[in-house]
Structure 1
Amino acid sequence: MVMLVRNRELNDALRSMRFVEDRFNRKFRYPWTFLNDEPFTQEFINYTTGMASGKVQYGLINKDQWSVPDHIDLHKVKKNMEKMVSKNVIYAGSMSYRHMCRYNSGFFYRHELLKNYDWYWRVEPGVEFFCDVDYDPFTYMRTHGKVYGFVMSMYEYLATIETLWDSTKEFVRQNPQYLAADNALDFFVDGKSPSKQGDTEIDGNYNLCHFWSNFEIASLNFWRSPAYSDYFNFLDAQGGFFYERWGDAPIHSLAAGLFLPKDKIHHFGDIGYRHLPYSRCPQDEKSHVSGRCYCSRQDHFDDDGYSCLPRWWKVAGQSEGAGPRPAE
């Protein structure tokens, strides 16, 4: 369990922990890793240690990973931020939000505390889980050959990633060896058949669909791979984390969707989850009459017009996932 969190978010961190522990982790006792750009207070350590059923560790983020790189033009950053603020773009004026997106995109998996782990479950402060998870999702992912798992999918704000797609296409043009056969390009580009490995060009416009990365269960080794490392370094050199407001969600999504076969991406349709302002609740009857889930089936983002899940089910050749996974 990995949480990027600040000391002042202690109550939200404990809320998330309580849900994860009650719904899943008290049966499995997986460790928790907390990361912060400032030293954790003793209060934070005491309370979160008491909430955890497994081992707990606390890491400080390297300053060079939470600062503006030397190649960035700060005058241009300031000018672009002011323009985005004038357009009411969410988090447009926040430098700390940009640091967070960059850190989640390119650095968290390199932290010393995570070097001995192969898998992680990302947990955000202030989230809720509505359903018991009676099986081990890490084992499920590993034994079924999955690499990246998500719960919700939606459209990104175009104003925050205006040049990300062009940069991604240019990266693939320069590095066609990383484009997986049977990739998920048709999830990101309307009416587009998946490109084959060896192609040197991706055409079409990005439809803004992405996997919402505040919930992820995924392989750390994928982020450590040459394909993703080269992709992040290429993007970081473009400056879009600061000149625009590139989020880790579309970056993780595009990487997983283009560098992995789509059958290695897994939708956890059995997980009930809320990250404000959106919630999803499994729709199958068994999950509710059994008491496994407690949530309103009407409060269900999958059916929202802003959700990209119907597109994903079509691309992945799956029926609408809703029921619990077997304990395999």
Structure 2
Amino acid sequence: MRSLEDRFNKDFQYDWTFLNDVPFDEEFIEATTAMASGNAQYALIPAEDWNRPSWINETLFEEALQLMEEKNILYGGSKSYRNMCRFNSGFFFRQKILDQYDYYFRVEPDVEYFCDFPYDPFKVMRQNNKKYGFVIAMYEYEDTIPSLWEAVEEYLEETKSRDADMENNAFGFISNFDFFGKSFGVLDSNSDYNLCHFWTNFEIGDLSFFRSEKYIKFFEYLDSKGGFYYERWGDAPVHSIAVSLLLKRDEIIHFDELGYKHMPFGTCPSAHYLRLQQRCLCDSNHPDNIDLNVISCLRRWWKDGSGKYFLKHDS
């Protein structure tokens, strides 16, 4: 919070909204209120939005937890992590405390911002009709989402792809396995999903998209499959697939001037003059810088999304 205030919000005084499934203690409220340059507000997530639904088969759920723990899958044995992923996929935007807002900036613990923001990203979003913004794109762990793409394909078939503008969306970003640069993607997928997703520990979005009928239909169809619990579907691939299918690709923006880190990966502006201008405390050549790493999907975004147009080629 201090990092983001120092690098960005001290100049704009946007509100902070804290959500939790248990009440915040007075010490936390006092410290965060003092840290915020804007207003700070706090809300309790309703149990029905956070807890796993009653229709989840508890036997299958416990078996899934045990199996993923045995495979050492990240957060594979965590019940609360699954609640968090489902909440961030389908319920955060329904919280009444957010009704007054048009956009959100997701802020997570243990994130550090390396550079001064050169602009107000909310203003950039509004002026350029952007609906979703990201900084890092990378591959998902397939063991956490083995049946997610199957559910997506069923959804598209059932809805006749009415909500997906396949000519103008970013479907290629999540489905293309072709060469980019001198290499293939680093991971081999067992489905037609190439596993690319936007890392959601930094995301800025238009709440009207997530509140829209087409997104809610998409989420509720996926939710009905139980994959948030029987597997370990993350909100990152769910958000990424949704925006890639349901938005136009030029409604998605890569904030490539921003630098941040969430362990174990980070990103830093590659241009020397930008790092000086924005007082960056990072090294674009550091091994933790993921942008051109083999596990990054950024080059895929440049080629198949709406990024570096000079890398596109005629079809």
Name the TM-score, length of structure 1 as normaliser. Answer: 0.87
Secondary structure, in 3 states, of the residue corresponding to 2:233?
Answer: coil
Match of 1:179 among 121, 143, 164: 164
- Please list the CA deviations of residues 267-321 of structure 1 after superposition, one character each: whole Å capped at 9, or x if unmatched: 0000001000001110101112335322111122101110000100111353399
- The answer to whether 1:76 aligns with 2:88 is no
Aligned match of 2:270: 283
Aligned match of 2:241: 254
Residues 306-321 of structure 1 mapped to structure 2, 5 A cutoff: 306-316=295-305, 318-319=307-308
Question: How far apart, CA to CA, are the structure 1 residues paired with 2:25 and 2:271?
Answer: 43
Structure 1: gaps of 5 or more residues? 1-16, 193-203, 322-328
CA RMSD of aligned residues (A): 1.5
Structure 2: gaps of 5 or more residues? 179-190, 311-315
Match of 1:99 among 63, 76, 83: 83
Residues 10-21 of structure 1 mapped to structure 2, 5 A cutoff: 17-21=1-5
Residues 129-278 of structure 1 mapped to structure 2, 5 A cutoff: 129-175=113-159, 176-180=161-165, 181-191=167-177, 205-278=192-265
Q: What is the aligned residue count?
A: 294
Aligned match of 2:184: none
Name the TM-score, length of structure 2 as normaliser. Answer: 0.91
Instruction: Report percent identity of matched pairs.
Output: 49
Match of 2:43 among 59, 62, 67: 59
**Counterpart amino acid of 2:204?**
I
Residue 136 of structure 1: CA displacement?
1.2
Secondary structure, in 3 states, of the residue corresponding to 2:162?
Answer: helix
Question: How far apart, CA to CA, are the structure 1 residues paired with 2:53 and 2:307?
Answer: 42
- The verdict on how the C-alpha distance between 1:54 and 1:317 changes in structure 2, with shifts beyond 3 A counting, is closer
Aligned match of 1:12: none
Q: Does the 8 Å contact 2:118/2:278 carry over to 1?
A: no
**Counterpart amino acid of 1:177?**
R
Q: Does the 8 Å contact 2:303/2:309 carry over to 1?
A: no
